[in-house]
Amino acid sequence: MAEQLVELNVTGMHCNNCAMSIHKLLEKKGLHNVLVSFASEEVKFSTADQSILPQIIKDIEGLGFKVVDEENVQPTPFYDKVENKFIFCAIFTAPLLLHMLLPWHFLHNPIVQLILCLPVFIVGCLHFGKSAYSSLKNGMPNMDVLIFIGSASAFIYSLVGTIENLGGHYLFYETAATIITLVLLGNVFEKRSVNQTTSAVKNLMKFQQVNANRVINGSVEVISAKDVAAGDTLLVNEGDQVPVDGDIISGNALLNEAMITGESIPVAKTKYDKVIGGTIVQQGNIRILATKVGANSTLSQIIDLMKKAQAAKPPVQKLGDKVASIFVPVVLLIALGTFVITYFATDAGLQRSMMNAIAVMVISCPCAMGLATPTAVMVGLGRAAKNGILIKGGDTIEAVANTKFVLFDKTGTLTTGKFSIKEIKLEEGFNIEQVRGVISAIEERSNHPIAKSLVSELQAYPQQKLILRTAKEEKGLGMRAEDVDGNNYFLGTAKHKTPDHFNLTLYRNQVRMAQIAVDDTIKPNAASLIAQLKKAGIVPVLVSGDKALRCNTLAATLGIKEIHAEMLPEDKLKVVDMYHKKGKTIMVGDGINDAPALTHADVGVSMNDASQIAIQSARVILLNTDLQSVVTFLQISKHTLITIKQNLFWAFAYNIVAIPIAALGFLNPMVGAFAMAFSDVIVIGNSLRLKIKKVS
């Protein structure tokens, strides 16, 4: 039985550590393609057995979270929002801290301090205690265990001191309250910052939340875009957003497709042209026939692709995940060891020993490790998407590190696929205007892409007009025609051997009028792209099914030294394999014949106007046909990987340095709680720099 994707909405995740505990649970259950995002409150996984779903939901709720029906998602209650919990706790914690600075006698009263601390401790028990208990019960202790034990130890120690009337040296109510308040503040920062890292997907989702003008029997009704059915006729006016994918059945318009391609210059659209949901009509009015709606629309597929991409972990993250998974038990042992050694070996006393142990637990947050990779990946994927580059997975970013070779297909990749006349060689007795007129008259009667390109190009040049009586296409050969004076013409592949670059010959009454060299034009940024790759130490390679002479000419123009011409799909596969053995290899292509090579390369890159099979085979899709996107993709990937490594270094270094300092007694628990929250902010802030960082 084929595996199916299951999507659940889970509330109650207040930090990345919560998401990690659900992730570990699902992996323990043997589920595949697990994605848990605490920012979007989504849990996804694949399973072939749908009958296990009720038990999975029960297990997730056993961890202290709540699985809700997407259709009936209730707004988070006021008292359950982490921001409101922080504000509530801060109000009571502030006077507790002030007693250390102000001489007001009543603030030093143990009962007053207990009354101020108790509401904060209750919030801490409900927020961290429930999660800590559930994680311990399921054998997966999380960070909340450390926070709860640390704050509870300080509170219970102070409570005993108050009941026994042992004096001010036994009162650490401010420590218990401050730990809880500062960790809640860290949760607030984390939630808000991670929301920013996922903004690219959320911005795209906003494009789906629009209305559509449906035309029925001449009248127009306004409906939600999600209610549009395939086959509906929709009216899209100037300034409106195109609600779904469709074909234009009437009207003309200029569309801003920046949302899809990253290109801000409006694109002219007319009858029969395709439009994409989410693009905006800047000028004009059109009627469209809805073709792709709901989950089949381009926008929905892009959103789904980006969500899946965030789930695919780069190998560099596995180290962080492994450390984080054993971190809490190790820290508890270190804290216990700190208490025992300080108490028995140094005669520091119960109070000092306990404070040192609490400081170790509070400062040892593994959240920064858990956030290091996903935040950088989300921002990197979002920045790429804004530039019209869709990356199918965070693991792709690491796959392109240290790329040695970039293999290019020719037609439609380095060239536009739009043909033009490179040379016309006239035979004696004929002039150029006459020949242009004959070519235009004949090719106007053909539907072939080359014919359309030639007619469009020749309109700009002077020509001698010709009126044809008949014209017919001979498949695989060319066009035969007869003019009103009874002259017979043939325009097509040469009957006699000609130099390789002349691929069309024109005859009148079996006498050759001219030889014509036709080729597709090189894309504007092709030469610049090749130069930039070479500068970066990457070897560009041309792999094409086209004739050797034309491949050599293109390669010489662009500065490509390594050429493989007249390649069949299986030959391209062998070439990719050959380079793959020498080093990291990227394949850029657009045709059906490129699909095997795209799959076989370390990373396959496909153009948006490519065949569907090429898009499915590739791990990167360039929505903008500008070749500069290839360099932008490599640069964003490089800087995302640099950011991940910086984040992991900071997260590991922080814990390696902070834990011994806390264990030796140089750090009190309140400073530890602040430092712990600050470490998350540093990691997330470094990831957010990717949004504006210069990557060239």
Q: Cite the active site residues.
A: 409
What DSSP string runs through 501-547?
T--EEEEETTEEEEEEEEEEEEPTTHHHHHHHHHHTTPEEEEE-SS-
Measured CA to CA, the distance from residue 247 to residue 366 in angstroms comes to 51
CA 354-141-675 angle, 5° bins: 55
Measured CA to CA, the distance from residue 635 to residue 629 in angstroms comes to 10
Helix axes 16-28, 367-386, angle to 10 degrees: 90
Residue 31: CB atoms within 10 A of its CB come to 19
Q: With residue 636 as reference, give the H or E element that holds it.
A: helix 628-663
Both tokens of 644, joined, read 């991940």
Measured CA to CA, the distance from residue 463 to residue 625 in angstroms comes to 33
Measured CA to CA, the distance from residue 200 to residue 450 in angstroms comes to 40
Provide the sign of the torsion angle of the four alpha carbons 128, 129, 135, 139, taken in this order.
positive
User: Coil, strand, or helix at residue 405?
Assistant: strand
Provide the sign of the torsion angle of the four alpha carbons 118, 124, 125, 126, taken in this order.
positive
User: Coil, strand, or helix at residue 635?
Assistant: helix
Measured CA to CA, the distance from residue 389 to residue 381 in angstroms comes to 8
Measured CA to CA, the distance from residue 107 to residue 118 in angstroms comes to 15
Q: Are 288 and 271 in contact (CB under 8 A)?
A: no
**Could you tell me whether strands 219-224 and 389-391 are parallel, antiparallel, or unpaired per DSSP bridges?**
unpaired
Q: Are 180 and 120 in contact (CB under 8 A)?
A: yes
